[in-house]
Every structure is written in C-alpha cells, then in structure tokens.
Amino acid sequence: MKLLVVVLCYKVPELAIDCLRSLAPEIARIPGARAGICENGTGPEAAERLRRAIDENGWDAWADLTVVEVNRGFCGGNNLVIRPALASDDPPEYVLLLNADTIVVEGAMTALVDFMDAHPRAGIAGSQLLSPEGEIQASPFLFTGIGSELDRGLRVGALSKLLAGRLEVDHSKPGPADWLAGASLILRSTMLDRIGLLDEGLYTYFDDIDICLRAHRAGWEVWYVPASKIVHLEGASTGIKGGSATKAKRRPAYWFQARRRFFLKNHGAAYTALADAAFLAGYAAWRLRRRIQAKPDLDPECFLADSFRHSVFRTGFAVREVENPAMAARAMATSPNA
C-alpha cells in the first residue's frame, strides 16, 4: 500500500462525510491509496450514518470503517487504525492523519506523497491549513519552551521575538519546520517503526508537537508543504480553537494534563517547573493589565486557576497518562457503587 489516510470522527459525522467526499478524487489519483475511518465513540447513530454514506457513494472500494464504543481520544483512535495496517501483509509506505473537520483541496494528497518520495530524510510533512474564507491558519510553529510560555502568558507583542522567537514562513514554497498542526500530517512508516506511534498517554492535544519532536530527535526532518492545501474547520469536535473574537469555553482538564505530560516526558522536571512558573507569572500580569486597560475578557473561564491547579506545583513531577474522560465516565457508570 502506498498511502493510508486516517480520518477520525468524534461528534461530527456529517463533517466526516464531507471530508470523505473531498478525499475520494484524491484517493483515485494515488495508486495503492486507501482510507481508514474510525468512528471514535460518538454512538451507533453516527456510526450508521458513516456506514450508509460509504456504501451509498461506493467508497467501500477504498475506505474501511472501524467503530469503537468508547472514545479513545485523538491518539488512541488513530492508533487503532494505524497499528493493524502497519502489521498487515501490505503495510502503507505513508500514513496521513486527516481531521474529520477538513475539506481536501484538489492535489493536496498528491503534493504530500510526491514531496515525501523526493525527500527520503523527511519523516513528517504537513499541509497548508486554510480557513473556510481562504485565510492561512497558524502552522508551522517553533517548539515551545520557557520563553514562549512566558510570552503566551504576557501577550506583549513587542517582546514576542525576544521571548519566543518569530518564525518567518514563506508560504509559496516548502520549508523545514519544528512542528506542524496535526490536522493534515503525513508520516513515513519507516519513521514510525523507529519512534513509535502517537503517544496514547496524551489522549488528545500536544500529540502533533510531541511526534514532531520525537522525529527530530531521531534524526528525521519535518517539512511544511504549502502546495498541499486543506480547508480546516478548526475545533469542530472539541470546541477549542485559536484566534476567536468571542469568549473561549473553559479548557477541559485533559488539555492541561496533556501539556503537563508533554513537558515532563520531553524536558524533565526542572524545565517543566520553569515553564509553568513562566506562564503563570506572565498570565497573571496579563490579567492585571487587561483590567487596567479595560480590554475585553476573551480568555477561557477560570484559565489562571486551572493552569495553576494542573501545574507541577500542585500535581507533582510524575509523568502520568492523561485521564480519558469517556473511560472514566464508563467506569463510573458500571461501578457497583454507582
């Protein structure tokens, strides 16, 4: 198999169907390409919608549906499709992670595959992500660190280049990247054999920066390929999106837990403590400045308190797996004492 496209659906079956509709002509352009769709615990009605759409449109010639009863998160759901494919008699040369809330622009898949074929040291490549209005979304990125966490909290534009660095991107041609958003990300299977699959301990979030960092550390290159264009309806499954002009919803505990796990496992206890302290100090200063300047409060509810509650100063320095809320709810419901 040349390419396996993995589409993970949670709470957005209609968007997933639109994604598959845009993907169909792209699959036809690449000999040996298939798609694996995972309905990740939304429920039987969503699974039936996907199954019916696949059958009625003739997509069953290239698409396989996997249905799980309990949401496994982004990492677990994708790995459920990737793991058996890599262990099969015809493993894919490339695996492409494609969000269900995307529309594939003509030529996007071919551009990624052609780029990977021409660059054997590239372990990961990512598409140019566009808003429905055609605006370029923020990707690629520099790796996060103590300075960028301070900058994320302070929000002082004049200091951003000094604290966090500024990534200059030429959107007209491919370029190396630290990491890329995981909405459309192609992975070389030989790289996965070396560094492993997505870290299921992260559950959802920080999976893209984590796998890109692991790829770099293993000697693989990460590239941004703007010839591959994907329309991305950011945050459709989780409700978490950047750059919103309205007040953001409260961040779930698993976002903070994933951030904490990413920092601790990749950078150690002392570095994580400094990163937590940098963000908390910067963000507290921003909240005070916002009040003084009477700026609108668009931050997630309880974000400062939640950031402290999930920091290493409250939770300690053990590297823990993120608690899967769906699994926890199921365990609670089936407990004899429930």
Domains of the chain: 3-141+177-232 (3.90.550.60), 253-330 (no CATH)
Whether the Cβ atoms of residue 115 and residue 240 lie closer than 8 Å to each other? no
Mean pLDDT of 169-186: 96
Beta-strand relationship, 102-104 and 94-99: unpaired
In the prediction, which pLDDT does 181 show?
Answer: 96
pLDDT tens string 71-129: 999 999 999 999 999 999 999 999 999 999 999 999 999 999 999 999 999 999 999 99
308 — pLDDT class (breaks 50, 70, 90): very high
Instruction: Give the integer Cα–Cα distance in Å for 160 and 142.
Output: 12
Q: pLDDT > 90: what percent of the chain?
A: 87
Q: How confident is the model at residue 6 (pLDDT cuts 50, 70, 90)?
A: very high
User: Strands 175-176 and 122-130: what pairing?
Assistant: unpaired
Three-class DSSP category at 64: strand
Asked which of 2-16, 77-91, 206-220, 235-249 is least confident by mean pLDDT, the reply is 235-249
- Give 139's pLDDT tier (boundaries 50, 70, 90): confident
Residue 305 has pLDDT above 70, yes or no: yes
Q: What's the mean pLDDT in 171-175? A: 95
SS3 175: strand
Cα 251 from Cα 33, distance rounded (Å):
37
Q: What pTM was estimated for this model as a whole?
A: 0.93
Q: For residue 161, is pLDDT > 90?
A: no
Name the H helices within 57-182.
Answer: 73-86, 108-118, 146-154, 157-163
pLDDT-based confidence at residue 210 (cuts at 50, 70, 90): very high
pLDDT of res. 242:
54
Grade residue 324 by pLDDT with cuts at 50, 70 and 90: very high
DSSP 8-state secondary structure symbol assigned to residue 136: B
Tens of pLDDT, residues 188-207: 999 999 999 999 999 999 99
Whether pLDDT at 336 is above 70: no
| DSSP code at position 304 | H
Bigger pLDDT: 28 vs 162: 28
Whether residue 244 is predicted with pLDDT greater than 60 in this model: the reply is no
